[in-house]
Amino acid sequence: QQQVKQSPQSLIVQKGGIPIINCAYENTAFDYFPWYQQFPGKGPALLIAIRPDVSEKKEGRFTISFNKSAKQFSLHIMDSQPGDSATYFCAAKSDDYKLSFGAGTTVTVRA
Amino acid sequence: EPEVTQTPSHQVTQMGQEVILRCVPISNHLYFYWYRQILGQKVEFLVSFYNNEISEKSEIFDDQFSVERPDGSNFTLKIRSTKLEDSAMYFCASSYVHEQYFGPGTRLTVT
């Protein structure tokens, strides 16, 4: 059962562009939605997270948009840089504390 | 900045052997987790641990798996009789409440 659907699988942008990654969920019990960044051979690093009572959250160049009625949330990377090239995972947590991850999006930022 | 550490970084074992993967969570955290990631796939939840007992486990976490917090700092995952399909990256994570921080992972290769 795929609880969190993530798209696209991969995307390529030019430096300064805004990659957008989308996630959708079905379980209305989810109450916390983090995004993780993963570089090859490394563990997932917590990037930014949002609760469902907020529609948008910004931290630096990263913005989460959250649409509770549509059960969708997205990550925008503003002014993307080659160093942002990584795999990004959305996730969702319910009150059992386990994270359900999306399939991941490989972002390539070309200089 | 506190971080989750894991040892070893790479473990090679033969099918049928027992392995123990070790983790040192962030010191004031209360919840501990193991996840795994098969190469190129998404991160999958295995087990969560709170107050010295398993609080949640996935279908993957069968009788071959066990977890233990033998002292105040370490958190271990034991696989009793490894199978080829256990080959994956194993990540330990910890949280105080919601925000889960991941370690760098142990790459387990079963031959």
| pLDDT band with cut points at 50, 70 and 90 for residue A104 | very high
pLDDT on residue B76: 97
User: Cα torsion for B73, A95, B1, B108, to the nearest 10°?
Assistant: 60
pLDDT on residue B74: 94
CA of A45, closest CA in chain B: separation in Å? 7
pLDDT on residue A95: 79
Q: Residue range A92-110: average pLDDT? A: 93
Measured between beta carbons, the chain B residues lying within 8 angstroms of A102 are: 42
Q: Residue range B39-60: average pLDDT? A: 93
In the three-class reduction of DSSP (H, G, I as helix; E, B as strand; rest coil), residue A83 is classed as helix
pLDDT on residue B72: 78
Q: Do A49 and B98 touch (CB under 8 A)?
A: yes
Q: Do B42 and A93 touch (CB under 8 A)?
A: no
Counting beta carbons within 10 angstroms of the beta carbon of residue A48, is it exposed (0 to 12), middle (13 to 18) or buried (19 or more)? middle
- Number of Cβ pairs < 8 A linking chain A and chain B: 56
Distance CA A6, CA A92 (A): 12
Is B82 touching A (CB cutoff 8 A)?
no
pLDDT on residue A4: 96
* B92 CB-near residues (< 8 Å, 6+ apart): B4, B6, B21, B23, B25, B32, B33, B34, B35, B75, B77, B102, B103
pLDDT on residue A1: 53
Facing A44 at nearest CB: one of B48, B56, B102: B102
Is B95 touching A (CB cutoff 8 A)?
yes
Amino acid (1-letter code) at residue A68: K
Asked whether the predicted pLDDT for residue B70 surpasses 90, the reply is no
Q: Residue range B37-47: average pLDDT? A: 92
pLDDT tens-digit profile of A1-50?
Answer: 569 999 999 999 999 999 999 999 999 999 999 999 999 989 999 999 99
pLDDT on residue A2: 60
- Strands B10-13 and B106-110 come out as parallel
Interface of B with A in 57-76 (CB under 8 A): 58
Measured between beta carbons, the chain B residues lying within 8 angstroms of A44 are: 43, 91, 102
pLDDT tens-digit profile of A51-74?
Answer: 999 999 999 999 999 999 999 999
Quickly tell me which residue has 């080829």 as its tokens. Answer: B84
pLDDT on residue B58: 94
* A14 CB-near residues (< 8 Å, 6+ apart): A109, A110
Q: Residue range A83-102: average pLDDT? A: 93
Q: What is the mean pLDDT of chain B?
A: 95
Calculate the CA A11 to chain-centre distance. 13
Quickly tell me which residue has 């958190």 as its tokens. Answer: B75
Q: Are B8 and B109 in contact (CB under 8 A)?
A: no
| pLDDT band with cut points at 50, 70 and 90 for residue B37 | very high
Facing B42 at nearest CB: one of A32, A93, A101: A101
Asked whether the predicted pLDDT for residue B77 surpasses 90, the reply is yes
Measured between beta carbons, the chain B residues lying within 8 angstroms of A93 are: 98
pLDDT on residue A96: 80
